[in-house]
Amino acid sequence: MHLTQIHSTKSPSPDRFQEECAVFGIFGHREAANLTYLGLYAQQHRGQEGSGIVSSDGERFYQHKGLGLVADIFSKKSVRQLIGTGAIGHNRYSTAGSGDLHNVQPLVVNFAFGNLGLAHNGNLINAGVLRGELEAYGAIFQSDSDSEVVIHLIAHSKGDTMVSRVIDALTLIRGAFSLVILTDDHLIAARDPYGFRPLSLGKYKGSWVVASETCAFDLIGAEFVREVEPGEMVAINHEGLTSYHPFTPQNRAQCIFEYVYFARPDSKIFGSNAVYPVRKAFGRQLAKECPAQADIVIPVPDSGYLRRWVMRKEWGWRLKSDSRETITSDAHLLSPNKPFGILE
């Protein structure tokens, strides 16, 4: 495994309860790392504490990660050094584990079945118990992120293939997970049976791509195919995509805060549901339930802009000209102006 520079662009911040991490993965494209960079850039709003990319050429892994924003961590040189046709990436906000570089994902290991990298969005409610059991069997942890528990479960599995080992591991964890795993010859994506966090599947020039939000597909010009279904695991290699449903079905329990705040307004999440009209509907309902005599309505944070606009309209207030169709604050950047370009 080859590691490129790992650095920090800001000092670590205290851990806090945040859940809006972003994942991205692509398999079978010679510009895999570059496309992953763009996918993370489009999803910067989901995680601004740290970012990382791992790529594979089928034999070796190449990694670059750091603390800070995507555009500050990666340069032309660092992305060029991420060789291979498969890659995964992650934007982090602390959910479990402190906000230092050891917890920035993807987490990477090398074990009997080869190289493995993992990027995870969500929270595992039984991570502490599983960690204690694994440590009792001699497992050594390099971070305090609950995502590392999944890697150890894969390594301890008795399955005879990587896919079977991943299934074994995921059947033991409880909680919310939308994750991507990169191996020497596979890209694997999985979602918990409740579908708590979004995870979408797309196609870019014949290559499969996976992302937390479809805004990542829009930026690179990929086609949205469908969501990874709750309780589904997809395994992608050079022969194509195989779908598995190894978990006991559960009633859907999707996070409403994805619509309220986390997701970008131009994304589609939880299937083909667009965030933009849902936020407008929230504003109409709020205007009906909470009529107010006021001079001004201020959205805090900026994701409340659409609700404010609709509330003013419902109350019959005079609407000033406003050019914003979608939120374009620093946390919702719509275009990086092709900073490194995409080779055809």
185 and 121 in a single domain? The answer is: yes
Tell me how far apart the alpha carbons of residues 45 and 132 are, in angstroms, rounded to a whole number: 33
Predicted confidence at residue 105, as pLDDT, reads 95
Predicted confidence at residue 225, as pLDDT, reads 97
State the greatest distance between any 2 C-alpha atoms of the chain, in Å, as a whole number. Answer: 67
158 and 55 Cβ atoms separated by less than 8 Å: no
The Cβ of residue 3 has, within 10 Å, a number of other Cβ atoms equal to: 13
pLDDT for 262 beyond 60: yes
In this prediction, residues 281-304 reach a mean pLDDT of: 74
Predicted confidence at residue 11, as pLDDT, reads 39
Q: Where is average pLDDT lowest: 264-273, 294-303, 313-322? A: 313-322
71 and 14 in a single domain? The answer is: yes
Q: Supply the CATH number for residue 241's domain.
A: 3.60.20.10
Predicted confidence at residue 292, as pLDDT, reads 73
SS3 204: strand
Tell me how far apart the alpha carbons of residues 21 and 46 are, in angstroms, rounded to a whole number: 5
In this prediction, residues 132-138 reach a mean pLDDT of: 94
Return mean pLDDT, the chain.
84
118 and 225 in a single domain? The answer is: yes
Question: Does residue 74 fall inside a structural domain?
Answer: yes
Range of the domain at 119: 2-255
Q: What b-and-e string marks burial along 120-137, b requiring 16 or more CB atoms within 10 Å of the CB? A: bbbbbeebeebbebbeee
100 and 168 in a single domain? The answer is: yes
- Which residue out of 21, 215, 255, 290 is catalytically annotated? 21
Residues 6+ apart with CB under 8 A from 286: 307, 311
278 and 257 Cβ atoms separated by less than 8 Å: no
Q: What are phi and psi of 300, to 5 degrees?
A: -135, 115
pLDDT digits (tens, 9 = 90+) for 208-238: 999 999 999 999 999 999 999 999 999 999 9
CA distances from 157 to 161, 165, 232, 325 (A): 10, 5, 20, 49
65 and 202 in a single domain? The answer is: yes
Tell me how far apart the alpha carbons of residues 145 and 201 are, in angstroms, rounded to a whole number: 26
Q: Which of 207, 234, 255 is the last residue in one of the domains? A: 255
CA distances from 289 to 111, 279, 308, 311 (A): 57, 15, 14, 11
State the pTM of this model.
Answer: 0.84
276 and 212 in a single domain? The answer is: no
The Cβ of residue 340 has, within 10 Å, a number of other Cβ atoms equal to: 18
Tell me how far apart the alpha carbons of residues 151 and 230 are, in angstroms, rounded to a whole number: 21
Predicted confidence at residue 93, as pLDDT, reads 80
Predicted confidence at residue 280, as pLDDT, reads 82
138 and 82 in a single domain? The answer is: yes
The question of whether 21 is a catalytic residue gets the answer yes
Tell me how far apart the alpha carbons of residues 292 and 287 are, in angstroms, rounded to a whole number: 8
320 and 212 in a single domain? The answer is: no
pLDDT for 9 beyond 60: no
Dig out the tokens for 3 from the structure: 């590691």
Q: Where is average pLDDT lowest: 66-80, 87-101, 257-271, 320-334? A: 320-334
pLDDT digits (tens, 9 = 90+) for 163-194: 999 999 999 999 999 999 999 999 999 999 99
Rg (CA), the chain: 20
